[in-house]
Amino acid sequence: MNNDYSKIKYFIYARKSQEGEEKQVQSIPDQLREDDIVAKRYNIKPVGILTEEGSAKEPNKRPVFEEMLARIKNGEANGIICWNLNRLSRNPVDSGKLQWMLQEGLIQSILTPSREYKPSDNAIIFSVESGGANQYILDLKVGVRRGLNSKIIKGQAPILAPLGYLNTKHELRGENYIIKDPERYELVKKAWELMLTGEYSIPKLLKIVNNDWGLRTRKRKHRGGGEVNKSTMYGVFTNIFYTGLYLYKGKIENGIHEPMITIEDFDKMQQILGRYGKPRVKSHIFTYTGTMICGECNSAITATTKTKLVKTKNELKDYTFYYCSRRKKGAEKCTQREYIPLKEMEDIIKEELEKYTISEKFRDWALKILEEEHTGEVLEREAIYKSQLNALDVSQKELDNLITMRMRELIDDDQYTSRKKELSQTIAVMKQKVSETQSRAQNWVQYTEQVFEFAHMAKARFEDPKTTVDDKKGIFMALGWNYIIKDKKLYISQCDLLEPIVKNRDAVESEISRLELEENIGTERQNTPFGVACPLLRSRRDSNP
């Protein structure tokens, strides 16, 4: 090197990528130390030291690098000292900029610890070396993509494990998977169980999770190890990962990790949380807001609290009213403008609960019949299981045929990609349902018992002065979905298992009263209300009791 370096003004530039592909590259302090040695070797006094963290894979993504080139064009410097040429560029666009500025003489020298690049050099040398840095990125992308596809095929979710799970770290490269977190899995599962009862709000659950259970997030390098916050808890309850599936690049995949809940539980949770699982943050919490909509304009039913002076007692008292928020587009013309007092709203709910309420005799008799029906139900479940397996087999064969059709060019890429995505998602969900049905066949009696117990006790619990507002909301939410208020009347899409109770309750109760079921069940079985109520027990029974 025989340049007169005193005539060249140099910037020192150091870059460290934040991404995984360069974990073995020297840190910025190490690079600067090497660059300083180069500067001292040639008695160079740099006019500036520029550093940044960021990948060089894509052009125009590094503000400090772009600033350096702009300053060189303005004449502030005409040389660069860096640890390696790949610190300056890993893409052909930025490499082209540097090569052009060398060729035009805007850059007189690029110095590294091992060599110098000058305008008079053969352009092929610079192109080959900068192209090598770019090829490294291309090869890395191919390798990473191949590894990710392999993990997906094996059911190993290539994602960061959510709360309650852990990523393994000690398997062979590319073979790490997700396992249960021994410290947190059972606690997160218990949180799901409590929330699914519909009797807990997120703030109430967080107090239990953080204060009573002492649950803490995983400690990571720069964060974690603290209490579970509201956004983390919402993230748990809206993440399909807990069903055994997972979302990757907008596509649902089937994982091999142990599921914490069923798909039906996940769907129910989204209803509890609100539309699309993204409830609005509220400054005031009212018992029944977030559950009902206006039957005329589809706006949410909201609430407000007014404080009034009770003159007879000379004291202030709060009154809560529910009303249509009229926030939907076009809701300005909505005629539902009456304010419904809290007491009147609860009277409306009690009227609805009355439709489902059954006597103690009805409940006890129904549970006895359920025990006798158990054997037949198991057979029905087995039939469902076989049907699901058959449907899974059909979808799998269709996917196989689709691949064959594409290989024979009977369909184009767009048709293949679109249909493959649909079939893959269908197969993933069906596999999960098959798995759930295997373990569910023996559990339908337990679910149905809970329904009859709910029908017997719900109204009494709702009216009990000791029942908390969260418990009341839980009872209300258990009735179904699509809660609509119009003209001070409540309309509900009934829960599948409660709907037959509404339809058959009066007939069954009448028969029980007439035959005095508790005395005749043993001697007059053929004359009991069994024939009347069997449709109730059988009606709408499916794979999701």
For residue 531, give both structure tokens: 């024939």
Mean pLDDT of all residues in 322-331: 90
What is the per-residue pLDDT across 35-57, written as a single tens digit (0 to 9) for each? 899 899 889 999 999 999 888 77
Position 89 pLDDT exceeds 60: yes
Query: Which H/E stretch holds residue 138?
Result: helix 123-154
CA nearest neighbour of 472 among 323, 342, 299: 342
CA nearest neighbour of 163 among 192, 204, 194: 192
Mean pLDDT of all residues in 499-504: 76
Residues 491, 227: Cα–Cα separation, whole Å: 40
CATH level 3 topology of 5-141:
Rossmann fold (3.40.50)
Most confident of 173-182, 406-415, 508-517: 406-415
Mean pLDDT of all residues in 237-242: 91
Residues 129, 447: Cα–Cα separation, whole Å: 68
Tell if the pTM clears 0.75, that is, is over it. Answer: no
Fill in the DSSP letter of residue 241: G
What is the per-residue pLDDT across 355-365, written as a single tens digit (0 to 9) for each? 888 888 787 77
Fill in the DSSP letter of residue 222: S
Residues 230, 234: Cα–Cα separation, whole Å: 6
CA nearest neighbour of 55 among 158, 133, 128: 133
What's the pLDDT score for residue 161?
87
What's the pLDDT score for residue 296?
92
What's the pLDDT score for residue 278?
43
Fill in the DSSP letter of residue 409: T
Average pLDDT, the chain: 78
CA nearest neighbour of 113 among 203, 43, 35, 178: 35
pLDDT band of 90, cuts 50, 70, 90: confident
Mean pLDDT of all residues in 71-86: 90
What's the pLDDT score for residue 154?
62
Residues 486, 278: Cα–Cα separation, whole Å: 25
CA nearest neighbour of 246 among 164, 317, 167, 156: 156
For residue 501, give both structure tokens: 């109770």
Mean pLDDT of all residues in 289-316: 81
What's the pLDDT score for residue 141?
55
CATH code: domain 165-277 is 3.90.1750.20
What's the pLDDT score for residue 294?
94
**Domain ranges (residues) in the chain:** 5-141, 165-277, 295-349, 360-538
Other CB atoms within 10 A of residue 193 CB: 12
Question: CA triplet 446, 452, 455: central angle to 5 degrees?
Answer: 140
Residues 298, 258: Cα–Cα separation, whole Å: 39
Give the residue, 444 or 84, on which the prediction is more confident: 84
What is the per-residue pLDDT across 415-448, written as a single tens digit (0 to 9) for each? 888 888 888 888 888 777 777 766 554 555 666 6
Residues 88, 13: Cα–Cα separation, whole Å: 8
Residues 401, 423: Cα–Cα separation, whole Å: 11
